[in-house]
Structure 1
Amino acid sequence: MPKQRITKEMVVDVAFEIARKGGMEKVMVKSIADKLGCSVQPIYSYCTNMDGLREDVGNRARSFIGEYIVSHIDKNDLFRSTGKAYIQLAKEEPYILKIFIMQERKNILSLKDIYETETSPQMAEVIAKGLDISVECAKQLHLNMLIYTIGLGTIFSVSSPGIPIDEIFLQQEQAYQIFMNDTLRKREINNENSNHL
């Protein structure tokens, strides 16, 4: 039987599965070779250094998360359900979330840069339309919830034996209400100022 040709895609797939089950620290050339049933040589030919492989696994985690969120959102409650989907991800795929969070973000000089890197440009417009607020207010509300949800998800994914998910959802909902009330208060102030002009 001819030997199987090992491809870079196969190496990344196996590295991702290892990281998904045990964390990035479990991704080693030997463990990848063992899973592929080959020597370490083909792995080294694609991974001149582990940083490149970690970046590939991080990109795969980012894609996985995007697909996961899309499959778990409620189109009738897009904003809230997206936040809940991140928390559900933290419960079901804690290592994937850790990989995503720990992935280096280059050329980030502000929270605005993070927002533009981590979100869909249309999301702020959807939020603005749904809540009847300006796009700028929607971006700030979304950024607040993004920061808060990632923080909650991180706490949730590293807690042992674990915080009940309902407690996390309740905390998330309370934050949403606080941020939302602040956004609506600012909208009222802006409307009053506009009426006085």
Structure 2
Amino acid sequence: MSDVKPIRRGRPRSVETEEAILDSAYRMMAVDGLSTATIDAIARESGVSKMTIYKWWPSREALLIDAFLRQAASMLPIPDSGDAVAKISRHASAYAVALSGEFGKVQLAVIAECIARTGSARLFAERYLGARRDVVVKIIKAGQKDGSVTSTEPPADLYDRIYGTLFYQDAFGFRAATAENARKLVKAVLTGA
């Protein structure tokens, strides 16, 4: 095998252009709804050609997910200080609050779009949930190792119980997504308290 990397044709991807596209896509989804966030409209709003957008994203759904992911990363950073329970409690609390606002509406719309277009939410899970889930699962594993997480259930199952419950309860209106409810849920799932 050769260590020579293939030569990429065309200009390198511009960070400013990418940000303009993602910002425009998210803003359109949040303000006017998903149906207005077409490739044509995003191109006009961002001042970028449709050709550039199609070159960088394989589908409209992938672009919308990436726009959502960028917003999530800025709104919901995963804390890096404190023990596992404290980190996850802060993150889950912020997620619960975000669910009750514009962010939650956009998340539901993007998931629905993925399901409507492809028959599953797999693309959303791969592009958005996978990486974030992996980070939090590692935090839970570390917590089990240092004793701050007393549950012995598999870390991925614990993650799903916390974030799946928050999403489910909020999406279907069974319980208000509040920071306090999230903190109680995290404590109950991770420590049994």
Query: If the TM-score is normalised by the length of the shorter chain, which range does it land in?
Result: 0.5 to 0.7
TM-score of the two chains, using structure 2 as the length reference: 0.58
Which of 14, 33, 58 lines up with 1:23 in the alignment?
33
C-alpha separation in 2, matches of 1:66 and 1:141: 22
Q: Which residue of 1 aligns with 2:98?
A: 89
C-alpha separation in 1, matches of 2:93 and 2:87: 10
Cα deviation per residue 1:19-44 (whole Å; 9 max; x = unaligned)?
13233222124533553468xxx326
TM-score of the two chains, using structure 1 as the length reference: 0.57
Alignment pair present for 1:118 and 2:133: yes
RMSD over equivalenced CA pairs, Å? 4.0
Alignment pair present for 1:53 and 2:69: no
Q: Which residue of 1 aligns with 2:9?
A: none
C-alpha separation in 1, matches of 2:94 and 2:87: 10
Q: Which residue of 2 aligns with 1:192?
A: none
AA at the equivalent of 2:26 = F
Q: Is the Cα contact below 8 Å between 1:12 and 1:53 reproduced in 2?
A: no
Aligned length: 159
Which structure would you say has the larger RCO, counting Cα contacts within 8 Å and 6 or more residues apart? 2
AA at the equivalent of 1:75 = S
C-alpha separation in 2, matches of 1:67 and 1:45: 24
Q: Percent identity?
A: 10
Structure of higher CA gyration radius: 1
C-alpha separation in 2, matches of 1:61 and 1:100: 8
Structure 2: gaps spanning 5 or more residues? 1-15, 115-120
C-alpha separation in 2, matches of 1:134 and 1:175: 13
Q: Which residue of 2 aligns with 1:98?
A: 108
Q: Which residue of 1 aligns with 2:72?
A: 65
Q: Is the Cα contact below 8 Å between 1:12 and 1:56 reproduced in 2?
A: yes
The structure where helix makes up a greater share of residues is: 1
